[in-house]
Structure 1
């Protein structure tokens, strides 16, 4: 029974990732077929299932509550413009996750690095803190651009940025950081 529940929680989590990745295109293509209220119900159902199916961490609960509040607001307002704010919410949640890790305990990138290399040297710990700051800057920038596009740009521009360009920028950041890390490692 526990294995089934864990499998369902992973599946719901994967569903949220897929929905997050495809969300801008679903909004762009679905606006003529679905009301914003329907989007709110579908997205809210996924988040509610995520919160109820398994043992979410306090952080996951916090993000889930904010996502559900967004879905409730979207459902009540039934506003197509409000649909565009979901990527901003996700960027702000990630900003909060990475930023708060710098203030208390271990920076997020260090936590991730310790999954594969539990004993990090002091230089690597300093480096992971710097990379965490880099991600804080990226999520701040991404939230600001997504918000500006949500407010002032045509839907096609918003879709292009939030559905493609933002992911390309993340990929470039990942790749650039990986190259820098390899170069630093080769010097030591």
Structure 2
């Protein structure tokens, strides 16, 4: 990884950490409705702005974005009273979205996502993967799908039945470490499930993806 790439990754991690700290602070601190609403709206508003700016029909979508932002500003007072719902919906939709990213590749005729990464790392077509690797990476894809669905389910149950501070602690401080733990556990299992094979990590998959994208562009 280049220094600029490392710096971008570091800034991204810092931004995510700052967001989670501020979101939890808003939930745990009375009368922090304004901060809570800002944390709830900032990610979707920025994502929508980026999508509108990249659209071929930029003028139309930016106009709609401005209108939507104006509507949110006008409704800021009632929205701020229930900002926790926005944070909850963001958390659940992100995890269900990740489950969909992995899960849809398990459909008939599709290449499981982890199999695709394994093929890119090895510089071969997915069909050329060894049968043992193909079976293992399909199971890992399924495991990630179940993992993200489980995170969304726990988040929903805690939001419904636990205190809002306990829910926020799980969503903001525990969910991402659980993702890291999942990576570590999968890496450990891989050594026994497919012994003798090249051990690679997420950074290898990212580098292979970038190399493939640059070669095809």
TM over 0.5, yes or no? yes
Compare 159-168 and 44-53 and name the one that shifted more. 44-53
CA distance in 2, matches of 1:110, 1:89: 25
* Residue correspondence of structure 1 range 47-58 to structure 2 within 5 A: 47-54=47-54
| Counterpart pick for 2:186 among 158, 163, 177 | 177
CA distance in 1, matches of 2:37, 2:84: 12
1:36 shift after superposition = 4.8
Does the Cα contact within 8 Å between 2:36 and 2:83 map onto a contact in 1?
Answer: yes
C-alpha RMSD of matched pairs (Å)? 3.1
Query: Which residue number in structure 2 is paired with residue 43 of structure 1?
Result: 43
Change (3 A) 1:167 1:44: closer
Structure 2-normalised TM-score? 0.61
Query: Which residue number in structure 2 is paired with residue 105 of structure 1?
Result: 110
Does the Cα contact within 8 Å between 1:28 and 1:159 map onto a contact in 2?
Answer: yes
Query: Which residue number in structure 2 is paired with residue 30 of structure 1?
Result: 26
CA distance in 2, matches of 1:88, 1:129: 24
1:76-134 CA distances to partner (integer Å, 9 max, x unpaired)?
74422312221111011011111111115111111222231233212111111111111
| Counterpart pick for 1:167 among 155, 176, 179 | 176
Change (3 A) 1:174 1:99: same
* Residue correspondence of structure 1 range 1-188 to structure 2 within 5 A: 22-31=18-27, 32=32, 34=34, 36-54=36-54, 77-78=79-80, 79-82=82-85, 83-103=87-107, 104-119=109-124, 120-186=129-195
CA distance in 1, matches of 2:45, 2:143: 33
Does the Cα contact within 8 Å between 2:99 and 2:149 map onto a contact in 1?
Answer: yes
In the alignment of these two chains, the number of paired residues is: 160
Unpaired stretches in structure 2, ≥5 consecutive residues:
1-7, 56-67, 198-217
1:132-165 CA distances to partner (integer Å, 9 max, x unpaired)?
1111111111000111122222232112211222
CA distance in 2, matches of 1:163, 1:37: 16
Query: Which residue number in structure 2 is paired with residue 60 of structure 1?
Result: none
Structure 1-normalised TM-score? 0.69
Runs of 4+ in 1 over 3 A off after TM superposition: 17-24, 35-41, 52-55, 74-78
Does the Cα contact within 8 Å between 1:81 and 1:150 map onto a contact in 2?
Answer: no
